[in-house]
């Protein structure tokens, strides 16, 4: 946690975000990158550039604090298991209603070093070496209590070391195998029609794969289809030989990707519908920044 939060600059960014949400003017926000569910904003300040990830609005300060300590614990446990994590700090501000807006803030790292990009631009030899290092990290870190969403867009390769970025939703489970994350809060970005369905029946199934190395690797490999580097799959599978039981096959990878793509497509479509409903029908502010449409 090696940097000083640029408090006033983040506050100014949040003011712009609130304005953008009210006016649906996202186009003016400086976007650094995006994941499946969030936009990552870029903040340039006199103290350097930062990546700012806006969290769902917390109902209270206590609930924000719980999330903050969960993120801190997650980072510590990953680092203890040998995974270097981008220095991360949480920022918050109280709304007049008593609710709390939070951001996960990191130093902006060099986007050219994002592994999903390097898999496209570097040689097959680099990719093979990356995969070997990646596999060792996953096998060393993932347990039934510590999960990892290890897709290529969550890693940077900096000075020969893989650095993990995606800690906004800590994947930690308690001894009874329940998510310690306030899943309900993070699902508030889902359209209301889906919330109960997802919460009640699917949570465990959706998250299970992140808590065992085989599932994490399968998900990573499936995602190579989305990143348009599926040609790397056979080499990576050869390098995984003997590591997993039952062995991972390319058919399984493709099936995993199709299933995942379908789920995210449905979710994205429903979110857009929900946003339309908020803005056009109810004439209210839709409270989330959605990433642009991803071509699958």
Q: Which residues bind ligand ADP (CB under 6 A)?
A: 32-38, 40, 51, 53, 86, 106, 108-109, 111, 114, 153-154, 165-166, 168
Nearer residue to ligand ADP within complex by CB, 4 or 245: 4
Instruction: Please list every residue from 7 through 36 that binds Mg ion, using CB under 5 A.
Output: 35
Question: Taking the complex as a whole, how short is the minimal distance between the CB of residue 245 and ligand ADP, in angstroms?
Answer: 29
Q: How far is the CB of 53 from Mg ion (least distance, A)?
A: 9
**Least gap, CB of 246 to ligand ADP (angstroms):** 29
Which of Mg ion, ligand ADP, none does 115 bind, CB closer than 5 to 8 A by kind?
none
Q: Work out whether 168 is an interface residue with Mg ion (CB under 5 A).
A: no
With contact defined as beta carbons under 8 Å apart, do 154 and 262 qualify? no
Q: Which of 247, 204, 201, 252 is nearest to 225 (CA)?
A: 252
Contact 146, 172 (CB under 8 A): yes
When CB distances are held under 5 to 8 angstroms depending on the partner's kind, the choice from ligand ADP, Mg ion, none that residue 108 binds is ligand ADP
Q: Which is nearer to ligand ADP, 48 or 144 (CB)?
A: 48
| 114 vs 237 by CB, closer to Mg ion | 114
- Per-residue x/- track, 125-154, Mg ion (CB under 5 A): -----------------------------x
Smallest separation, CB 113 to ligand ADP (Å): 9
Residues in 222-241 at the binding interface with Mg ion, rule: CB under 5 A:
none
Query: Exposure of 200 by Cβ count < 10 A (0-12 exposed, 13-18 middle, 19+ buried)?
Result: exposed
ω into 246 cis (within 30 of 0): yes
**Residues 130, 69: Cα–Cα separation, whole Å:** 31
CB 184 within 8 A of CB 190: no
Cβ closest to ligand ADP, residue 36 vs residue 212: 36
Q: In whole angstroms, how close is the CB of 178 to ligand ADP at the nearest point?
A: 21
- Residue 223 interacts, among Mg ion, ligand ADP, none and using kind-specific CB cut-offs from 5 to 8 Å, with none
Q: By CB under 5 A, tell whether 166 contacts Mg ion.
A: yes
Query: Which lies closer to ligand ADP via its Cβ, residue 88 or residue 240?
Result: 88
How far apart, in whole angstroms, are the C-alpha atoms of residue 258 and residue 241? 23
Quick one: how far is CA 117 from the chain centroid?
A: 16
Count of residues binding Mg ion (CB under 5 A)?
Answer: 3
- The verdict on 260 binding Mg ion (CB under 5 A) reads no
- Residue 17 or 40 having the CB closest to ligand ADP: 40
Compare residues 169 and 240 and give the one whose CB is closer to Mg ion: 169
Which residues sit at the interface with Mg ion, rule CB under 5 A?
35, 154, 166
């Amino acid at each position: 946690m090696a940097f000083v939060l640029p408090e006033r600059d983040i506050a100014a960014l949040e003011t712009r975000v609130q304005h953008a949400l009210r006016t649906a003017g996202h186009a003016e926000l400086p976007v650094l990158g995006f994941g499946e569910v969030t936009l990552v904003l870029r903040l340039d300040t006199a103290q350097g550039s930062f990546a700012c990830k806006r969290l769902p609005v917390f109902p209270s300060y206590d609930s924000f604090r719980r999330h903050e300590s969960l993120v801190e614990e997650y980072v510590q446990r990953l680092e203890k298991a040998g995974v270097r994590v981008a220095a991360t700090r949480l920022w918050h501000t109280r709304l007049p209603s008593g609710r709390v807006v939070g951001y996960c803030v990191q130093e902006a790292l060099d986007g050219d070093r994002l592994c999903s990009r390097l898999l496209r631009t570097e040689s097959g030899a680099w990719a093979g070496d990356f995969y070997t290092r990646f596999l060792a990290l996953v096998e060393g870190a993932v347990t039934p209590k510590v999960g990892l969403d290890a897709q290529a867009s969550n890693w940077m390769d900096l000075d020969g070391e893989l650095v993990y970025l995606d800690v906004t939703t800590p994947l930690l489970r308690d001894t009874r195998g329940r998510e310690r994350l306030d899943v309900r809060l993070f699902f508030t970005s889902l359209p209301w029609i889906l919330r109960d369905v997802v919460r009640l029946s699917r949570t465990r199934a959706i998250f299970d794969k992140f808590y065992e190395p085989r599932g994490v690797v399968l998900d990573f490999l499936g995602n190579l289809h989305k990143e348009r580097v599926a040609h790397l799959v056979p080499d990576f599978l050869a390098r995984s030989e003997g590591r997993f039981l039952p062995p991972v096959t390319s058919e399984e990878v493709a099936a995993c990707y199709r299933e995942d793509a379908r789920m995210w497509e449905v979710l994205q479509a429903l979110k857009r519908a929900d946003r339309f409903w908020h803005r056009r029908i109810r004439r209210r502010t839709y409270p989330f920044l959605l990433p642009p449409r991803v071509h699958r």
